[in-house]
Structure 1
Amino acid sequence: MQILLVGAGLSGAVIGRKLAEAGHSCRIIDARSHIGGNCHTERDADTGVMMHVYGPHIFHTDDQEVWNYVNGFAEFLPFQNRVKSTTQGAVYSLPINLLTINQFFGKTMRPDEARDFIAGQADRTIEDPQNFEEQALRFVGRDLYEAFFKGYTEKQWGCAPTELPASILKRLPVRFNYDDNYFFHRFQGMPKDGYTPMIAAIMDHPNITVQLDTPYSADMTATVDHVFWSGPLDGFFGYDLGRLGYRTLDFERFTHDGDYQGCAVMNYGDRDVPWTRITEHKHFSPWEIHDGSVCYREYSRAAGPQDIPYYPIRLVKEKALLADYIARARATEGVTFVGRLGTYRYLDMDVTIREAMDTADAFLNCARRGTAPPAFVTSPD
């Protein structure tokens, strides 16, 4: 069959590869001038630093099959994300761990002592947290909440934490040991040469053609048997029901001779500091040595029509509009919606790849049975 994949990021690459290997002819298009979507990496011309152009992407997963998959297209080297936070005039380790607690409160507690201490800080009068703030107060108390969560959350989401659902803090955001590895997953690393060469390798198949600087137009569907859409769900329908809400990011790039902050990611928890974090990109490739450094100050704001959408908001108003677009999508033949934008969900890279693999399998199964592929293999609901 003739397949059109809109978007040359992870979803399009992984689905296209699997369908190409099954003998289908796959055309991948992207409106941008590069492949990789927001995972795109490139070397800075002046410093040689490998840049995460659209912000840091750190690969972590417990999915053995996904880990094997990416290692089949790139050499991954060990990398553990160790985030720091500047707040209230001091630097702390994140996630909140035993070192953070002892340093913040000026204590020398052992794990069981710290557990009891935090339990005493927590607001136990909140039995059924109804929002982000209540959830945080219920777990860690006001002091830690205001230092590490409140200001950062207000900057990141552009609203009061009382307007955000409690589910954002799904579990106790505290470790009662000295583990400062940001992620729990078994497999963690970075592709030695960046994500863009890895995605190029995935798309390197004789049944795949890639066209950049090529926006989608509706008349393209007449020339193919099926479309995989990884652009914004509402964008496929011309935003005719209204626009789903997103947060976007602005990056203020600056350079430094030497080492600017000593770590890859430094959060800023104070509300009066306008940026949410500073990323220093050479620390994402610790096996490389560079004299110069490139950093991004990161600012979050509401996404406008011309902005790159990063984080789906998914509050009450957006969920109602989302339900209408989901119904429209399910009534549309010949299109499957995939990825972060196509399903209006925040997805880590490993989940994006897993869902792309499952989507390709579902499509091939439908082709064998002679049935129509679904609009969503993983429901945005």
Structure 2
Amino acid sequence: MKILLVGAGLSGAVIGRQLAEAGHDCRIIDSRSHIGGNCHTERDSETGVMLHVYGPHIFHTDDEGVWNYVNRFAEFMPFQNRVKTTSQDAVYSLPVNLHTINQFFGKTLRPDEARAFIESKADSSITDPQTFEEQALRFVGRELYEAFFKGYTEKQWGCSPQDLPASILKRLPVRFNYDDNYFFHRFQGMPREGYTALIAGILDHPRITVELETTFTPAMAEEADHVFWSGPLDGYFDYSLGRLGYRTLDFERFTYQGDYQGCAVMNYGDREVPWTRITEHKHFSPWESHEGSTCYREYSRAAEPEDIPYYPIRLVEEKSLLEEYVRLAEAQKSVTFVGRLGTYRYLDMDVTIREALDTAETFLTSAQTGQQMPTFAKSPL
């Protein structure tokens, strides 16, 4: 079959590779001048540092199948993300852990003592947290909430934590040990030569053709037996019902001779600091050595039509509009919507790859059995 995949990021590359290996001809197009989508990496011409052009991407997963899959196409180096935060003129480690608690409160608490201490700080009158703020107050109390969560969240989401659902703060945001590894998954690492090289490896198959700086047209779909769309869900319909809400990021690049901050990611929890964090990209490749350093200050704001969409907002208004777009999508034939933008969901890379692998398998099974391929392998609702 002739397959058209719109988007040369992880979703398009993985689905394309699986279908190409099964004997289908896959044409992958992307409007950008490079493959990899927001995972795109490239060497900085000034410092030689490997840059995560659209912000940091750290690979972490408990899915051994996905871990084995990416290691087919790239050499992964050990990497653990150890985030720091500057708050109230002091530097702390994140996630909030036993060291953070002892440092912040000037204590020398053991784990059980710290657990009881934080419970005494928590607002136990909140029995069913509905908002982000209530969730934080219930679990960590006002002091830690205002130091590490409130200002950062206001900057990241552009609204009060009182207006955000509790689900954004899903897990208990504190550890009662000294573990400052930001993630807790079994497999964590970084591709030695960057994510673009990883995706180039996935795309390296004789039945795959890639066309960059190419915009989708309906005529392309008519030439294909099936389309996999990883662009914005609302964009497929020319935003006919309105635009789904996203947050976008602005990056302010600067260089430094030496080591600017001593870590890859430094958050800024205070509301009066306009940026959310500073990333120093040579620390994402600790196996390399660079005298110079390339850093980015990140600023979050509401996405305008010409901006790159990063984080789906998914609040009440957006969910209502999303339901309308899902109904439109399900009326389409021979189109499957995939990935972060196609399903309007925030997805980590490992989940994106797992869903792409599963989507390809569903397609191949559907083709063999004569069943219709679902519009969404994973529902956005």
Fold in common (TM above 0.5):
yes
Shift of 1:128: 1.1
List per-residue Cα deviations over 1:64-94 (Å, max 9, x = no partner): 0000000000000000000000001100000
Whether 1:363 and 2:350 are equivalent positions in the alignment is: no
* Number of aligned residue pairs: 381
Q: What is the distance in 2 between the residues matched to 1:352 and 1:171?
A: 21
Deviation at 1:194, TM superposition (A): 0.3
Q: Distance in 2 between matches of 1:86 and 1:59?
A: 24
Give the letter aligned to residue 322 of structure 1.
L
Aligned residue number for residue 337 of structure 2: 337
The 1-side partners of 2:264 and 2:290 are apart by 14
Tell me if 1:70 matches 2:70.
yes
Could you tell me which residue of structure 2 aligns to residue 377 of structure 1?
A: 377
Cα drift, residue 333 of structure 1: 0.4
Q: How do 1:196-235 residues align onto structure 2 when only pairs under 5 Å count? A: 196-235=196-235
Structure 1 residue matching 2:45: 3-state secondary structure: coil
Q: Structure 1 CA distance, aligned partners of 2:182 and 2:41?
A: 22
- Counterparts of 1:171 and 1:8 in 2: how far apart (Å)? 32
1:314 Cα deviation (Å)? Answer: 0.1
Range with bigger deviation, 337-346 or 126-135: 126-135
Q: Following TM superposition, by how much is the alpha carbon of 1:174 offset from its aligned partner in structure 2, in angstroms?
A: 0.4
- 1:43 is displaced (CA, Å) by 0.4
Q: Which runs of 5+ in 1 are unaligned?
A: none
CA distances 1:168-220 after superposition (whole Å, capped 9, x unpaired): 11121100000000000000000000000110010000000000000111111
The match for 1:35 is: 35
- After superposition, what is the alpha-carbon deviation per residue over 1:313-336, rounded to whole angstroms, capped at 9, x for unaligned? 000000000000011111110100
Matched, 1:276 2:276: yes
The CA deviation string for residues 80-136 of structure 1, in whole angstroms up to 9 with x for no partner, is 000000001100000000000000000010001100000000001111111000010
Give the TM-score taking structure 1 as reference length. 1.00
Query: Could you tell me how far apart the structure 2 residues matched to 1:106 and 1:3 are?
Result: 61
* CA distance, structure 2, for counterparts of residue 168 and residue 223 of structure 1: 42
Does structure 1 residue 103 correspond to structure 2 residue 97? Answer: no
TM-score, reference length from structure 2: 1.00
- Give the secondary structure class of the aligned counterpart of 2:371: coil
Between 307-316 and 121-130, the greater mean CA deviation after superposition? 121-130
Question: Match of 1:230, as an amino acid?
Answer: S
Per-residue displacement from partner, 1:337-369 (whole Å, max 9, x unpaired)?
A: 000000000000000000000000000000001
Corresponding residue of 1:292: 292
**One-letter amino acid of the structure 1 residue matched with residue 165 of structure 2:** P
1-structure distance, mates of 2:173, 2:45: 39
What does residue 49 of structure 2 align with?
49
Structure 2 match to 1:191 = 191
Matching residue's letter, 2:373: P
Matched, 1:21 2:21: yes
Distance in 2, Cα, partners of 1:294 & 1:275: 17
Residue in 2 aligned with 1:11? 11
Question: Counterparts of 2:128 and 2:40 in 1: how far apart (Å)?
Answer: 42
AA in 2 matched with 1:152 = Y
Distance 1:14 1:333 in 2: 22
Distance in 2 separating the partners of 1:350 and 1:339: 11
Query: Per-residue displacement from partner, 1:283-311 (whole Å, max 9, x unpaired)?
Result: 00000000000000000000000000000
Tell me the equivalent position of 1:249: 249
Q: Supply the distance in 1 between the matched residues of 2:266 and 2:378 (Cα, whole angstroms).
A: 34
Give, in whole Å, the separation in 2 of the partners of 1:328 and 1:88. 49
List structure 1 segments (4+ residues) > 2 angstroms apart after TM superposition: none
Alignment-derived partner of residue 263 in structure 2 = 263
Separation in structure 1 between the aligned mates of residue 354 and residue 93 of structure 2, nearest angstrom:
31
Looking at structure 2, the residues matched to 249 and 169 of structure 1 have their Cα atoms a distance apart, in angstroms, of 21
Q: Amino acid of the residue matched to residue 303 of structure 1?
A: A
Partners in 2 of 1:99 and 1:233 — Cα distance? 43
